[in-house]
A and B are shown apart, each in its own frame.
Chain A
Amino acid sequence: MIKFILVQNRQGKTRLSKWYHPYDDDEKVRLRGEVHRLIAPRDQKYQSNFVEFRNDKIVYRRYAGLFFCVCVDSNDNELAYLEAIHLFVEVLDAFFQNVCELDLVFSFYKVYAILDEVFLAGEIEETSKQVVLDRLDYLEKLE
């Protein structure tokens, strides 16, 4: 299962953080810093997208200046989570029509809503992009 999801830019500013495991506030701050220091300097070309982290591992993917990191159990399928990250990014991209970092900043509450449609309780909830987007459209209309 997923312990937490972090989206950070290259400077280490966190644009999205979702915790499925009850960490206290100090721990969250520490984790953000540690993950950034671990991921940011990694080489895109010569290094894998997996890093062992404490007793778990982090699967991350970089899109332009943003790192999407998920921390998962050490016996989970890394490759599948890599795909899951991509699915999430595709949904974001379709929703915002060419998503950029500013979209995540100004519509952060929508990003959380999208995240909650894709992942729930640390597991993948829906794998069809279209189903998620339809849902989100309805929700927008309700506002």
Chain B
Amino acid sequence: MSGHYNLKALIKAIRSCKTLADERSVIQKESAAIRTSFKEEDSFARHNNIAKLLYIHMLGYPAHFGQIECLKLVASPRFADKRLGYLGIMLLLDENQEVLTLVTNSLKNDMNHSNMYAVGLALCTFANISSEEMSRDLANEIEKLLGSSNTYIRKKAALCALRVIRRVPDLMDHFTNKAKALLQDRNHGVLLTGITLVTEMCELDDKICDEFRKATGLLVKHLKNLVTTGYSAEHDVLGITDPFLQTKILRLLRLLGRGDATASETMNDILAQVATNTDSTKNVGNSILYETVLTVLEIEADDGLRVMAINILGKFLTNRDNNIRYVALNTLNKVVAMDTNAVQRHRNTILDCLRDGDISIRRRALELSYALVNEGNVRVMTRELLSFLEVADNEFKLGMTTQICLGAERFAPNKRWQIDTVLRVLKLAGNYVREEVLSSFIRLICHTPELQFYTTQRLYAALSSDLSQDSLTLASVWLIGEFGDVLLQGGTIDDGEEVKQVTDSDLIDLLELVLNSPYINTLIRQFVLTAISKLSVRFAELSTPNQSTQQDRIAEILASFSSNLELEIQQRAVEFGSLFGKNEIKMGVLERMPPPEIRATIMGTVSERRSVGSTRTDKDTVVDLIGDDSAPNTASLNGGSSGPSTQDLLADIFGTGGNDLTSPSTSAPSAGPARSAAADIMSLFDSSPAPAANPPPAPSASSGSNSLFDLVTPSSSSSAAPPPAPAPAAAPPKTQLQSYTAYEKNSLKITLTPKTSPSQPGVVQILARFTVSGGEKVEHVNFQVAVPKTQQLQMQAMSNTDVSPGSVETQQMRVIAPAGAAVRLRMRITYSKGGQNVTDQQDFAGFPADLTGAK
């Protein structure tokens, strides 16, 4: 059996194969023929066989049985054999194969060959496949050849030296002197490879880098020659002299100038010259400009040069070539961390790139845009990003919503704007919003009572028109449940827009629609169930006209889920259903949640690359501290007491914990005494001649369950020291807190200290302090308060019902009043002193009128 006559015949045979199977069989036959031929040790056939075998190898078929034959070919005195043999070695072997050790000797012989081309072949093979061992063995030969008088050999030897130091950095010292000589070479090829070698050395070793810094002047001279000399036919590329050498020099200058002012100073002028004189209409010129920019940005360049560099990148951005825009954006992304202001100037161009045809350019432009957002341009940037969000690729959306909302959170000029921004995000890309973003939005709403109507109204409208956006649905459903009463009471949106009054049946209709929509999922169902349960309480509080019908509908919906297959849903439905029948508990459990702690939204992997505006973190934390009202303090004090932790509250907001009932129930102990106190108030009003309007029964009744304000342990521990002033008072107020004496009789004195927080207008925290004058102890103090119907009251238990002389007992309460309304209290105090029971009733309206905030 014999193979094809020669390589050409084989290639033709293979190319004429119609199917892959044919090809395979031709190749198998040929391989077998080559194998047999190898056994005959015919040195003339060998060349032919190896050539064929290499072609077979190139097609991806096994050819490793030819390795040894290649070695034999290399040993042949014929140059053609040597050449093919080395080619075969380079193709069939790599540095990890043991056969390679057999090549070392051939290489060594050929490096000392009299024919420079044979030496060239050996160097070439060495440079491409040398292993660590081979590098050690032949380092001396390479060093010798670096000093060769032949440029062809010198340049190859330089790259061989590069290979050696990459494999064995310890051998670097062998080459430093010769490398210095290479830098002065007149031949471009040798200079180019020499600079490549020196660059690698400098990257590997800082000490060597210091040594080569002396050559800075020399390199600058080389570069100057390249820039200033006119046309040179040998190395011209579209009118530029040897751009490859120029970029290599620039790259080495970058290493030498990094962190060294003197060296940087030396190269300043030439860099400016390259930056101004290089033709930027062609890719060649731009490759040099690009390298120059990178160098300028990394060395200790003066400011003018830096600005010039950034401007070059700015010009790149307007280039019509995609490649140029790509590298510009890539580089700006690196620069933006160093010098945001310089990049800001090119903001508009960067924003234009958001609409580029190339997705990788869009991605880079987007990353860069995130980094450019600051408080000065947040409106413009957000507007641009939002309009891009409409058309953005889906893969960008999650990152974008996160970044837009984070930017809004950080730099928002006002809360209304921030809310509007998030609303728009939810509408545009509600299926691509992170849970963290959603929760921070809800926290924001909870802390912004003045915009609760506005937000809920907007979300209600948005949800009515679009049920398909997941996060929009979640946010709307939660807020409708929580602030349904606010929505029903109506209000105004100050931009003069006509607001359609929403009725209780509208709300239930909408939620029912959500339940029946095709976009429903388990999480939304959970939210809806919680929301309608809350709504039943809201309706009851407001005693809306169709209340009884709606309550029946709610009960019906809950009942319809009580046998749901989803355990979580079923549990909720059943629990809410049974809660539904227990009116007195329901009110407390489902009352409005205390606003959760506000904190900066932190996400691990928000950006594709890195977090935005890294330089600004310090400032942000300050903003954050100011932005926080007393809540964090409260929470931290509360952490040790029986109240649920903040995490619970948050889990509660989202309802994902699936145990809405548990967190209120943990505060049940405190609910006890307060409710009984409330019951007393009822009796109080029953017995007394009824005031003008019926007193509010509900609001105060459930106050005790509000665990966030449960600062004072309700189980009236008898220890003498009262807790210090609760956290809200501890938060640094702008003005001295004013206390007012509300009651002073029989040596018992009660003072009231109101406190308001700007973030929650209309909410007044009142601290009552009990002291006794004289030497006698007052026992069994019971302090009860009622407010007009338009206001709400929540009370905590007293720190200690027995007031000893010299000690101060406290009781915390909270009044929620419409903005501008005066806070009026009706108090009933019972206590016993010296065995005698005293009951007193008194009105108090001594607080300043502007306490609840101007309307």
Question: Is chain B a partner of chain A in the same complex?
Answer: yes
Q: Which residues of A contact B (CB under 8 A)?
A: 14, 17, 19-20, 22-24, 29, 43, 45-52, 77-80, 82-84, 87, 105-106, 108-109, 112-113, 116, 120-121, 123-128, 130-131, 135, 138-139, 142-143
Q: How far is the CA of A124 from the CA of B517 in the complex (A)?
A: 63
* Proximity bits, B635-678, A CB within 8 Å = 1, else 0: 00000000000000000000000000000000000000000000
Q: How far is the CA of A127 from the CA of B284 in the complex (A)?
A: 13
Residues on the A chain within 8 Å of B8, using CB = 106
- How many A-B pairs fall under 8 Å by CB? 143
Query: Would A48 and B60 be within 8 Å (CB), given that A22-B95, A83-B237, A125-B156 are in contact?
Result: no
A128 touches B196 (CB 8 A): no
Q: Closest CB of chain B to A87's CB: distance in Å?
A: 8
Residues on the B chain within 8 Å of A139, using CB = 83, 117
A22 touches B96 (CB 8 A): yes
Residues on the B chain within 8 Å of A83, using CB = 237, 243-244, 283-284, 287
Residues on the A chain within 8 Å of B251, using CB = 77
A79 touches B79 (CB 8 A): no
B83 touches A121 (CB 8 A): no
B323 touches A142 (CB 8 A): no
A127 touches B242 (CB 8 A): yes
Judge whether B372 is part of the interface by a CB distance below 8 angstroms: no
Residues on the B chain within 8 Å of A14, using CB = 58, 60
Q: Which residues of B contact A (CB under 8 A)?
A: 8, 11, 15, 51, 54-55, 58, 60, 79-80, 83-84, 87, 90-91, 94-96, 117, 124, 127-128, 152, 155-156, 159-160, 162-163, 188-189, 192-193, 196, 233-235, 237, 242-245, 247, 251, 283-284, 286-287, 290-291, 294, 322-327, 357-361
Which of A22, A108, A130 touches B55 (beta carbons < 8 Å)? A108
Residues on the B chain within 8 Å of A120, using CB = 124, 127-128, 156, 159, 193
Nearest 9 Cβ contacts at the A-B interface? A79-B287, A46-B357, A121-B127, A48-B322, A48-B326, A127-B244, A80-B287, A121-B159, A22-B94
| Of listed A14, A77, A113, residue having the most chain B CB within 10 A | A77
Residues on the B chain within 8 Å of A23, using CB = 94
Residues on the A chain within 8 Å of B291, using CB = 77, 80
Nearest residue, chain A, Cβ from B95: A22
Q: Closest CB of chain A to B718's CB: distance in Å?
A: 68
Q: Closest CB of chain B to A42's CB: distance in Å?
A: 9
Q: How far is the CA of A22 from the CA of B129 in the complex (A)?
A: 8
A126 touches B189 (CB 8 A): yes
A17 touches B358 (CB 8 A): no
Nearest residue, chain A, Cβ from B116: A138
Residues on the B chain within 8 Å of A82, using CB = 283, 287, 323
A116 touches B243 (CB 8 A): no
Residues on the B chain within 8 Å of A126, using CB = 155, 189, 192
Residues on the B chain within 8 Å of A123, using CB = 159, 162, 193, 196
Q: How far is the CA of A115 from the CA of B519 in the complex (A)?
A: 59
Q: How far is the CA of A143 from the CA of B80 in the complex (A)?
A: 5
Q: Closest CB of chain A to B292's CB: distance in Å?
A: 11
A48 touches B244 (CB 8 A): no
Nearest residue, chain B, Cβ from A29: B60
Q: How far is the CA of A24 from the CA of B358 in the complex (A)?
A: 34
A131 touches B234 (CB 8 A): yes
B124 touches A116 (CB 8 A): yes
B87 touches A112 (CB 8 A): yes
Residues on the B chain within 8 Å of A24, using CB = 96
Q: Closest CB of chain B to A133's CB: distance in Å?
A: 11
Residues on the B chain within 8 Å of A142, using CB = 79-80, 117
A48 touches B360 (CB 8 A): yes
Residues on the A chain within 8 Å of B15, using CB = 105
Nearest residue, chain A, Cβ from B294: A77
B358 touches A48 (CB 8 A): yes
B357 touches A47 (CB 8 A): yes
List 10 other contacts, CB 8 Å, given A49-B322, A78-B326: A20-B128, A79-B290, A82-B287, A109-B84, A112-B90, A113-B83, A126-B192, A127-B192, A128-B235, A128-B242
Nearest residue, chain A, Cβ from B360: A48
Nearest residue, chain A, Cβ from B93: A22
Q: Closest CB of chain A to B355's CB: distance in Å?
A: 12
Which of B94, B95, B189 touches A127 (beta carbons < 8 Å)? B189
Q: Closest CB of chain A to B606's CB: distance in Å?
A: 20
Which of B87, B94, B152, B242 touches A113 (beta carbons < 8 Å)? B87
Nearest residue, chain B, Cβ from A16: B58
